[in-house]
Each structure stands twice: as structure tokens, then as C-alpha cells.
Amino acid sequence: MKPVIGIIGNSHLINDEYPAFAAGEMNVRAIAEVSDGLPLIVPTGVGTVCINSLMERCDGFLFTGGRPNVHPEEYGETATEAHGAFDRERDGIALPLIRACVSRGQPIFGICRGFQEVNVAMGGTLYPEIRDLPGRDNHRMPPDGTLEEKFALRHAVTFREQGVFHKLMGAQKVMTNTLHGQGIKEAGPRIVVDGHAPDGTPEAIYVQDAPGFTLSVQWHPEWNADADPVSRPLFEAFGAACRDWAAGGIRKSA
């Protein structure tokens, strides 16, 4: 039996008028083809799902990227224009779900917004716009070009020597894409920053002393996940952790 892996969806308007919950096809295919799991898109409307029931039916959760950002009220700050659009429905499901999974040892994997959600859920804060900080680069998606151009490898990520990501990748430095505006300001008390971009932006994290898999990355490994030498190990390791959970065990990420 394949492990059931919940993919956290985003609130979305089809044709700018019809409300829907959606997840990107790249995420679904990465879970199905690389993690070897059964993908299940999870609606994030508060009141539409019971977190405890959801955790009983899924073996792990992928927290995907998304245009709306985590609302700064979730980390004790006031919203400004720089914080951009929000998805409060997703905040209401994703943040408590992350905390519950970490406590229980159930596997989670965070990507981009999901990476930021893990930090916020564990008590961390975010910068509203990385490119506005002195000495930082513009990490946002290029405004023009094909998908191949937008998801192209753009900067290196250097991992902590002999850290979790270094051991998983078999390399201390890798190349990644970058398509995010916000980033970690203060890491949560249990968040270990295990990799950085050249400008110092945190790019790879896990939760210290968590009983289960908690790896998260700021880039988008779902792009070309089956062939990319950086993406594939992440989804394979996550899938293995979900299979262990389905079989009644726990596989730690650190």
C-alpha cells in the first residue's frame, strides 16, 4: 500500500470569480512519482476539515508554496503593504497541523511558503520582503519568461558541514531555483537553519529534537523532481518517512 500524503492546498479563484482549493500539478506528480505516495489535496477552509481526523487518514503532509503569505499576526507583527496578500484559511489549518505533526512525529515536508509556515508554527518570524534588506539579493520569481526560465537554477545553497542536508545530498553545496519574496527573520526556538543562500538567506531547516521527519526548504524542489539531483533525494526521503509512518514506525530527519 502506498502512503497517503496530504498536499496542503491554497484558496484560489478560477477566472477571478469561482472559489476553489487548489494544489500545483508539479507537487502532485512529485509525491506520486518520486515519493511513491498517494497524493491527496487537502482543502484549507477553516471548518472544512478536522485536523485530528485528517492526521488519522494521512501518513504525511506536504506544505506547498503559494502566492499569499502567512499573516504577520501569526508571529506578533502588524500587516503592511509589503507583506502582500494573505490566505487566512490556510493559516488556520496549516499552522496547527504542523505543530500537531511535529509533536506526534508524523512526517512533514515544507516548500517555500510551507518552509515559512514551519518556522512560524514553531515560534519564528518572517521578513516581508527579502530584496529590500541591505546586502540581500532579489529571490523573487522572474516576472517574464517560460516556466523553464522561471524555475531555472539561480543560486547556490551551502549546507552545514556534516549536517542533515549535507548527508542527504552527499554534497555541501548545491544549486537551486528561487521564487520567494519573504524569508526567515528569526528562527523559531527549535528551528535549525541547516543551509543558506550566498546572501545569508536561510534556505534549509528542520525542527530540533522532533521525533519524525521535518525537513523544509525555501526553494521549489517539485520542479523537475524526478530528474534533479537535489530535488529527488528530498522527495525520496520524505516518501520513505511516510511509508515508515504507515507501517507503524517513525523515521527521523535529524
Nine cell digits for residue 239: 516518501
Q: For 163-192, how does the pLDDT look when each residue is reduced to its tens digit (9 = 90+)?
A: 999 999 999 999 999 999 999 999 999 999
206, β-bridge pairs: 192
Q: What are the pLDDT digits (tens) for 28-60?
A: 999 999 999 999 999 987 788 899 999 999 999
Residue in the structure block whose three cell numbers are 536561510 = 202
Helix (H) or strand (E) holding 14: strand 10-14
Which residue(s) pair with 155 in the sheet?
176
pTM above 0.75, yes or no: yes
Return the C-alpha torsion angle 183, 97, 63, 33, nearest 10: 150
Pick from 155, 164, 159, 157: nearest CA to 137: 155
In DSSP terms, 176 is beta-bridged to 155
Burial of 159 (0-12, 13-18, 19+ CB in 10 A): buried
Amino acid at 43: P
Most trustworthy range by pLDDT among 30-44, 70-84, 140-154: 30-44
Give residues with Cβ within 8 angstroms of 17, minimum separation 6: none
Match domain 4-246 to its CATH number in 3.20.20.100, 3.40.50.10490, 3.40.140.10, 3.40.50.880. 3.40.50.880
**Residues with active-site annotation:** 112, 220, 222
